[in-house]
Amino acid sequence: MKPEGAAFTLHGLLTRAAAAFPDHLAVSGPGGELTYAELDRLSGRIARGLRALGVRPGDRVAVSASKSPTVVATLYAIMRTGAAYVPIDPLSPPRRAARVLADADCRVLCGDAKRLERMGEAVSGRPTVDLTGAATTAALGLGDLERLDPDPVASGCESDLAYVLYTSGSTGAPKGVMLTHRNALAFVEWTVGRFAVGAEDRLVSHAPFHFDLSVFDLYGAAMAGASLHLLGAGEESLGASMSAAVRDRQLTVWYSVPSALVLLSEAAKAEDVASLRVVLFAGEVFPMKHLRALRHLVPDAILANLYGPTETNVCTYHAVAGGLPEGDSPLPIGAACENQEVFALDDQLEPVAEGEVGELWVRGPTVMKGYWGDPELTSQRLGQNPLHDLYPDPAYRTGDLVRRLPGEQYQFLGRRDHQVKSRGYRIELGEIDAALIGHPAVREVAVIAVPDERIGSRLVAFVASEEAIDGLDLKRHCAQALPRYMIPASIVVESSLPHTSTGKIDRQGLIRRAEASPKP
């Protein structure tokens, strides 16, 4: 059962759920729990406080705080004023946070006391809201907000910006991806419907709020009238803590990057995760050997590989309700989600035939509005659908290379900017990743290409393993599956690889290390 009636904004989902399920648990996590009625009231009070600080429709409001029910209420409150929220990683350096604040021209910064103090001068005179207590140096504190009457006004429509997510991408420079209420609702409604999320479900909130995977958790729960369970700081990166959260809270729907599920499957017993009925993953390739370990733990759950860059939300999927395919090839990214269209084009912008490789393009209601303050980059990545010129029809070129499979399915091969030339050969780094992850002792892999004047690109592989293996062993393993020119010149074995705050392997950091390493 879901709340009845249409919702055309994300904050409209909360209003609708509060009317249908006022006493149903809405969110639980660090700092307590709130029913839907309580969450709606707190959101209204925070919205009134934000309006008092001058927040108006079209503004941007930054949020940088550890997860809590109050932060969830704040996200809804910002949208309730007609503004868009800009989530900033609470662990990011103050300099980077200041860059995002300035780039998005945020009117107000909401955060916890420690974060606001740490940012110091980076706030640049903006009003701040302390979400952890009474106002001290902040303009407003949580104690002040809780004494306000809820603001009954809810501004906005589906074409308004809902949030701006900053992502570094392949360049390392943060860029703001603008997503509207319509963009998010189209994705959330598809996911809730496709995986039959209902009011009895209990969704985990694993991804940080500055990562696009959090959109389904936050708003899928509200759309269905389900409960959202926030993982506290540290819980999201420890297998034992994740396993305990699933068991103790009887979670039913999980969505995260594959690396988190690898940790979960290594730490959990089948009885710990027996409540899971849907397990969704996205963001990186899920190595088949790790996916088989997960399937062994949850033999009856739906497993689904969701694909889509931040700029498109999720646009393709491949669901597995039974056994996994043979071999070590990762799951395909599948076919387009309903009400979406994807197509692979060659360098001449012509559709590729079945079995051929091309760059994936996306069109549909989940595609972003553009990059904040960067019309040049927007025009490079988001433009007229190249397959026709009959009417304006924006399509997004992902930069991802895929192989077209039978039945309009697609296999992800890697980033276009991860395709390199070495010794005259064109090489997909993802193919080397796949060969190395096939070694039984290898847990994670990242292959980096370093520019080299003599050969074009020098290949350096970083491997995570808890066993005593050396680079020579791994090169022999690669030789069984790869031609000689694709075997990395250097293989660095470590106990673990660095990860970003979103759980993905920190390739930018590894690139800097590889470039600084001496030639073999």
Report which of residues 312 and 321 the model is more confident about: 312
Paired residues of 161 in beta bridges: 180
The bridge status of strand 202-205 relative to strand 227-230 is: parallel
Q: Quick check: 123 pLDDT over 60?
A: yes
pLDDT in tens, 81-98: 999 999 998 888 888 888
As a whole number of angstroms, the distance between CA 59 and CA 81 comes to 9
Euclidean distance between CA atoms 279 and 324, whole angstroms: 14
- Contact (CB, 8 A) for 201 and 252: yes
> If you search the block for the tokens 């066993």, which residue do you land on?
467
> Given this model, what pLDDT does residue 292 score?
94
Average pLDDT over residues 429-438: 86
Contact at 8 Å (CB) between 318 and 409?
yes
CA 240 to chain centre: 22
Q: Write the CB contacts of 86 (distance below 8 Å, at least 6 apart in sequence).
A: 60, 61, 62, 63, 100, 101, 104, 106, 163, 164, 166, 176
CA–CA gap between residue 181 and residue 222 (Å, rounded): 14
What average pLDDT score do residues 422-431 get?
Answer: 74
Nearest alpha-carbon partner for 186 in 147, 223, 211 = 223
The pairing of beta strand 394-405 with beta strand 382-384: antiparallel
Mean pLDDT of the chain, nearest integer: 91
Output the six-digit token pair for 362.
């996306």
* CA 452 to mean position of chain CA atoms: 33
Confidence category of residue 445, pLDDT binned at 50, 70, 90: very high
pLDDT tens profile 463-475: 999 888 888 999 9
Q: Is pLDDT of 217 > 90?
A: yes
Which backbone phi and psi does 384 adopt, to 5 degrees?
Answer: -60, 135
More confident residue, 182 or 155: 182
Closest to 88 measured CA to CA, from 115, 68, 113:
115
Flag whether pLDDT at 169 surpasses 60: no
Q: How confident is the model over 361-379, as pLDDT tens digits?
A: 999 999 999 999 999 999 9
- Distance in angstroms (rounded) separating the CA atoms of residues 445 and 437: 6
Strand blocks (E) in 193-350: 202-205, 227-230, 253-256, 278-281, 302-307, 316-320, 335-336, 341-345
Angle in degrees, CA 194, 199, 201, rounded to 5: 70
Q: Name, in order, each residue with C-beta under 8 angstroms of 43's C-beta and a sequence gap of 6 or more.
A: 11, 14, 73, 74, 76, 77, 80, 150
Distance CA 184, CA 205 (A): 17
pTM above 0.75, yes or no: yes
More confidently predicted of 119 and 223: 223
pLDDT at 136: 64
